[in-house]
C-alpha cells in the first residue's frame, strides 16, 4: 500500500511538471550521467528512474554507453526513450541477479522528461524476457519486435525476407508493456477515493492519463505507436478521426488505444498496411454518406 501511495503522489507530482520542483531538476541533472543502480544489498523493491535527454537528438554512441542501447531514428522516439530507460535498468539489474518490470511509465513533453516506476525482484534474464530489439521500416512504416535469436535475420514483410537498408533496428531495450494494469487500476481507484479524479464539475487530467495508461498496458499491444499523419500520408488521404479509426480497428478484432505520449497517434497490433486500408474504407464511407446527404437535399 505504501508503494501505491508513492505511485499516486508521483503521478500528481509529474503532472505539475519538472520546472516547479528543484528536487526533480536535481534528479534530472544527476541522471544526465551514465545510469548506475545501487549495489544489490540496497535494492528496493521499487525504483523510480528519470531521464531528461531528447531521445530524437540523442547521440547513438552516448545512448549505447549510458543505457546500453543503440537507438536509431524512429517515428516514436519518445516511446523508445522510455523503453531505453527501462532496458538500461534491466541490464544493470540483471548484472546483480534482479529483474525489473514497469509499474508505470510516463513521458512529459515539458523538458522533455522520461520517468518510470519499476518493480525490482530476483530473477535472471532469459530468451522470453522483454529485453530485445525494435525495428522500423522506412519503406512501408511497419514496426516489429525481435528477440536476440533473430539478430542477423531481421527483415520486413515488404522486402520478402531480403536484407534492406530501409529497416532500422534499435536496442536492446524493454519490449514489454509500459505499465502494470493492476497497479495503475489501483492508482485510479485511490485517485477517485481522494477526489483527484473527475467529478460532476470537471474532468481531471489525472483520471484521463491513468485511463490511457490502463489501455496502453494491454500485453497484446506491441512497441511503438502509429501517427495518424503517417497513415494519412501513406494512404494519400486526409488524416482520419482518431476515435473513428480506433473504433474500426477494434471492430476488426485488433487491440487499439490512444498513446499518452502523442495525442495524434494510436497504439495497435494491426500492421500499418491494414491501418491504411481501414483508413481508406473510413474515407470512402464518409464520402458516400456525404454524397447521399447531398442527393436527398
Q: Are 90 and 100 in contact (CB under 8 A)?
A: yes
For residue 94, CA distances in Å to 36, 37, 169 come to: 12, 11, 23
Shortest separation between residue 247's beta carbon and Zn ion, angstroms: 27
Count residues binding Zn ion (CB under 5 A).
Answer: 6
Q: Rule CB under 5 A: say whether 125 interacts with Zn ion.
A: no
Residue 273 CB, shortest distance to Zn ion, in Å, is 9
Interaction pattern, residues 179-218, with Zn ion; x per rule: CB under 5 A:
----------------------------------------
3 state SS of 17: coil
Instruction: Return the residue of 158, 190, 237, 277 that touches Zn ion, per CB under 5 A.
Output: 158
Q: Under rule CB under 5 A, which residues in 132-151 are in contact with Zn ion?
A: 137, 139-140, 142
Nearer to Zn ion, 142 or 223 (CB): 142
DSSP secondary structure of 247-270: HHHHHTT--EEE-SS-TTEEEESS
Residue 256 in grid coordinates:
487499439
Task: CB nearer to Zn ion: give 147 or 164.
Answer: 164
* Alpha-carbon dihedral angle through residues 21, 15, 68, 145, given to the nearest 10 degrees: 180
Length of the chain: 297
- Residue 135: CB minimum distance to Zn ion, A: 9
Q: Pick between residue 7 and residue 141 the one whose CB is nearest to Zn ion.
A: 141
Complex with Zn ion: residue 158 or 255, whichever CB lies closer: 158
Q: C-beta of 156: minimal distance to Zn ion in Å?
A: 3
Instruction: Return left, alpha or beta for 97; rule: phi > 0 is left, psi -120 to 50 is alpha, else beta.
Output: left
Q: Could you tell me the smallest distance in angstroms from the CB atom of residue 37 to Zn ion?
A: 37
Q: Which residues contact 185 (CB under 8 A, 6 or more apart)?
A: 214
Q: Which is nearer to Zn ion, 137 or 226 (CB)?
A: 137
CB of 158 or CB of 168, closer to Zn ion: 158
Listed in sequence order, the DSSP H helices in the chain are 2-16, 22-30, 60-67, 77-94, 181-193, 205-216, 228-235, 242-251, 272-295
Q: How far is the CB of 272 from Zn ion (least distance, A)?
A: 9
Pick from 156, 197, 210, 256: which binds Zn ion (CB under 5 A)? Answer: 156
Nearer to Zn ion, 46 or 158 (CB): 158
Order of strands across the sheet that contains 226-227: 226-227, 265-268, 256-258
Closest approach of Cβ 138 to Zn ion, in Å? 8
Per-residue contact flags (x/-) with Zn ion for residues 245 to 274, judged by CB under 5 A: ------------------------------
Q: In whole angstroms, give the CA distance from residue 21 to residue 17.
A: 8
Of the candidates 270, 268, 264, 259, the residue with the CA atom closest to the CA atom of residue 233: 264
Which residue, among 170, 163, 98, has the nearest Cα to 132 in the 3D structure?
170
- CB of residue 150 to Zn ion, shortest distance in Å: 16
Choose between 21 and 154: whose C-beta lies nearer to Zn ion. Answer: 154
Q: Which residues bind Zn ion (CB under 5 A)?
A: 137, 139-140, 142, 156, 158
Amino acid at each position: 500500500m505504501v508503494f501505491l501511495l508513492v505511485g499516486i503522489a508521483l503521478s500528481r507530482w509529474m503532472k505539475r511538471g519538472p520546472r516547479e520542483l528543484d528536487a526533480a531538476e536535481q534528479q534530472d541533472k544527476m541522471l544526465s550521467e551514465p545510469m548506475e543502480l545501487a549495489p544489490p544489498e540496497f535494492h528496493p523493491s521499487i525504483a523510480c528512474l528519470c531521464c531528461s535527454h531528447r531521445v530524437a537528438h540523442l547521440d547513438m554512441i552516448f545512448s549505447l554507453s549510458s543505457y546500453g542501447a543503440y537507438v536509431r531514428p524512429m517515428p516514436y522516439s519518445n516511446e523508445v526513450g522510455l523503453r531505453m530507460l527501462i532496458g538500461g535498468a534491466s541490464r544493470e539489474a540483471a548484472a546483480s541477479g534482479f529483474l525489473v518490470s514497469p509499474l508505470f511509465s510516463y513521458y512529459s513533453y515539458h523538458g522533455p522528461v522520461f520517468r518510470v516506476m519499476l518493480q525490482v525482484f530476483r530473477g535472471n534474464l532469459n530468451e522470453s524476457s522483454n529485453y530485445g530489439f525494435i525495428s522500423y521500416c522506412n519503406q512501408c512504416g511497419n514496426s516489429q519486435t525481435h528477440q536476440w535469436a533473430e539478430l542477423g535475420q531481421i527483415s520486413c514483410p515488404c522486402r520478402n525476407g531480403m536484407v534492406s537498408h530501409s529497416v532500422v533496428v534499435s536496442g536492446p531495450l524493454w519490449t514489454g508493456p509500459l505499465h502494470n494494469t493492476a497497479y495503475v487500476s489501483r492508482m485510479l481507484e485511490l485517485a477517485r477515493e481522494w477526489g483527484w479524479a473527475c467529478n460532476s464539475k470537471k474532468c481531471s487530467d489525472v483520471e484521463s492519463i491513468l485511463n490511457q495508461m490502463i489501455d496502453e498496458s494491454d500485453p497484446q499491444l506491441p512497441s511503438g505507436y502509429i501517427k495518424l499523419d503517417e497513415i494519412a500520408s501513406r494512404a494519400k488521404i486526409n488524416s482520419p478521426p482518431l476515435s473513428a479509426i480506433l473504433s474500426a480497428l477494434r471492430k476488426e478484432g485488433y487491440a487499439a488505444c490512444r498513446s499518452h505520449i502523442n495525442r495524434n497517434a494510436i497504439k495497435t497490433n494491426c500492421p500499418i498496411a491494414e491501418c491504411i486500408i481501414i483508413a481508406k474504407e473510413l474515407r470512402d464511407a464518409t464520402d458516400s454518406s456525404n454524397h447521399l446527404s447531398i442527393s436527398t437535399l
